[in-house]
Structure 1
Amino acid sequence: MEQSKPGLAAYQRVVESIKRDIRAGTLAPGDRLPGNRALAEKYDVALATAQKALRVLQDEGWLTATPAVGVFVSNETPPREEDFDVPAALAELRSQVAELSKRVEDLEERS
């Protein structure tokens, strides 16, 4: 595994490596990942580190887990970070915050 990324914890290096494999097509949607112990050995990390990386990838939508079956590459992977439109997302968040602020003000006036 790539050890030269300064500032990344071991689980983050595993996360980035698996993401890279998914983007490159080495891991395709629906592919089953090896078991936790095999992943830990592959990336030369502790079992808990591999498990944490898998949890992060599941939380981010890259992987799905089926109990007693395995962990699989999701059919729809999240958009690349560089494809994320930050200004549009910020504008949407500002709009939502303004709307929520107005609703709170209305509720406070009623009480």
Structure 2
Amino acid sequence: MESASQALTAYERVIAAIKTDIRNGTLQDDQNKIPGHRRLAVRYDVSLGTAQKAVRLLEDEGWLLARPAVGVYVNDPLPDEDSNASTQSVQDQLSELRSVTADLATRIARLERAIGSSNS
């Protein structure tokens, strides 16, 4: 049977490790800057591409902030741990609204055709 860490992809393991290190304060320097991609790849024993993907996804989640030509920094304040669940909930609600809107548009078009044909 696979352990939970084996079931995760390499970049998911790196993301989890970076989050832990950020919480513990062991990754960033006193300016909240994290090591570069190559150092992260060595630190977490992954390829450069995997380290880059993990950093990019952590930026998307709001954990990190990239400053071009300067570096990548830990965001302050850190995002809420439940923000991904909240984002998914909002996406689900938006999808439902789109579906209902499309259904209403179809019904309105049918009514307009019916009204138009009865007026003729």
> Match of 1:53?
54
> Equivalent residue of 1:34, what SS?
coil
Note the C-alpha offset of 1:92. Answer: 6.2
> Equivalent residue of 2:6, what SS?
coil
Q: Report how many aligned residue pairs link the two structures.
A: 107
Query: Using a 3 Å threshold, how does the CA distance of structure 1 residues 20 and 94 change in structure 2: closer, same or farther?
Result: same
* Structure 2 contact 33–71 (Cα < 8 Å) conserved: yes
Give 2:82's aligned amino acid. E
> Which residues in structure 2 correspond to 1:1-111 (within 5 Å)?
5-27=5-27, 31-81=32-82, 96=97, 100=101, 104=105, 108=109
Q: What TM-score, normalized by structure 2, do the two folds share? A: 0.65
> Equivalent residue of 1:18, what SS?
helix
Partners of 1:58 and 1:76 lie apart in 2 by 13
* Structure 1 contact 10–45 (Cα < 8 Å) conserved: yes
Please identify, of 18-27 and 44-53, the stretch whose mean Cα deviation from structure 2 is larger: 18-27
Partners of 1:102 and 1:94 lie apart in 2 by 12
CA RMSD after TM alignment? 3.6
Partners of 2:69 and 2:108 lie apart in 1 by 48
Note the residue ranges of structure 2 that are not aligned, 5 or more in a row.
Answer: 114-120
Show CA shifts across 1:35-81 (max 9, x none): 11111111111111110110110111110101111000011222113
**Identity of paired residues, percent?**
41
Query: Using a 3 Å threshold, how does the CA distance of structure 1 residues 61 and 104 change in structure 2: closer, same or farther?
Result: farther
> Equivalent residue of 1:5, what SS?
helix
Of Structure 1 and Structure 2, which has the larger fraction of its residues in helix?
2
Q: What TM-score, normalized by structure 1, do the two folds share? A: 0.69
Note the C-alpha offset of 1:107. Answer: 6.5
Q: Which has the larger radius of gyration?
A: 2
Which gives a bigger RCO, structure 1 or 2 (Cα 8 Å, sep 6+)?
A: 1
